[in-house]
């Protein structure tokens, strides 16, 4: 079982080093490339003003966010939800610098970039020279983003989950892999991802009697070391 968390954030601006803060976090859980229905979502009080440029992007005003929990109040739940899973983010460097900045504020260890997959980098490798915004990728992979009138962390994470599956080869690939893992007959030995089966009825030999005799005569000089003797021809 392979678990991944699709994560997205909204912020007050572009740089946490200049005082910008998170205002929303949205996460969607995938297991073996399929959404489980488990999500994490929180609006956050950034404890500062929100520039109009940011409000135009995500629509979250200072008045709306007053009274919402501060990051420190949801940090434990977020870290628990992420667990040890791989984290998938579009333009990961941007979101992770905010996540880790907020974690440091409440004296928690940062999340290592080594466990993060950047779908923007994936898309640029797969579609060089093309637009690889989330909207552009939704259009390319026919993912319905009609509800995305503004940026929203949970909605964007849900859309990115669908896009990510397509970037990895699509749902058809996942179905083929899943089918390949299922046994079609009696199982005599089973591992986590492999199955060994016995054939119900032995297949008839396609070698004629004359061919079998010629084969045995040809390998007779090899004695007991003749590999093909094992096949009973």
Catalytic residues: 151
Tokens coding 170: 């699509």
Tokens coding 46: 């950034």
Rounded (10°) angle between helices 92-105 and 71-82:
120
In sequence order, what E strands does the chain have?
3-11, 22-31, 34-43, 86-89, 116-118, 187-190, 195-197
d(CA 51, CA 55): 7
- The answer to whether the CB of 118 falls within 8 A of the CB of 89 is yes
d(CA 164, CA 33): 9
- The answer to whether the CB of 92 falls within 8 A of the CB of 117 is yes
Q: Measuring CA to CA, which residue among 127, 118, 66 is closest to residue 97?
A: 118
Q: Measuring CA to CA, which residue among 75, 55, 71, 72 is closest to residue 63?
A: 55
Sign for the pseudo-dihedral over CA of 25, 29, 34, 37 = negative
d(CA 216, CA 7): 65
């Amino acid at each position: 079982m392979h678990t991944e968390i699709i994560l997205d954030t909204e912020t007050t601006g572009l740089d946490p080093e200049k005082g910008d803060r998170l205002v929303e976090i949205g996460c969607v859980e995938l297991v073996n490339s399929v959404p489980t229905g488990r999500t994490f979502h929180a609006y956050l009080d950034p404890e500062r003003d929100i520039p109009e440029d940011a409000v135009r992007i995500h629509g979250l005003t200072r008045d709306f966010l007053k009274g919402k929990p501060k990051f420190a109040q949801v940090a434990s739940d977020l870290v628990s939800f992420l667990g040890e899973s791989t984290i998938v983010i579009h333009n990961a460097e941007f979101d992770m610098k905010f996540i880790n900045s907020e974690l440091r504020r409440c004296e928690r260890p940062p999340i290592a970039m080594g466990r993060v997959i950047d779908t923007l980098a994936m898309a640029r490798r797969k579609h060089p020279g093309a637009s690889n915004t989330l909207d552009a990728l939704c259009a390319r992979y026919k993912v319905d983003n009609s509800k995305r009138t503004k940026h929203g962390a949970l909605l964007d994470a849900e859309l990115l989950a669908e896009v990510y599956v397509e970037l990895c080869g699509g749902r058809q690939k996942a179905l083929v892999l899943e089918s390949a893992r299922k046994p079609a007959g009696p199982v005599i030995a089973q591992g986590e991802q492999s199955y060994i089966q016995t054939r119900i009825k032995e297949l008839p030999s396609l070698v004629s009697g004359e061919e079998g005799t010629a084969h045995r005569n040809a390998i007779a000089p090899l004695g007991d070391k003749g590999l093909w003797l094992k096949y009973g021809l």
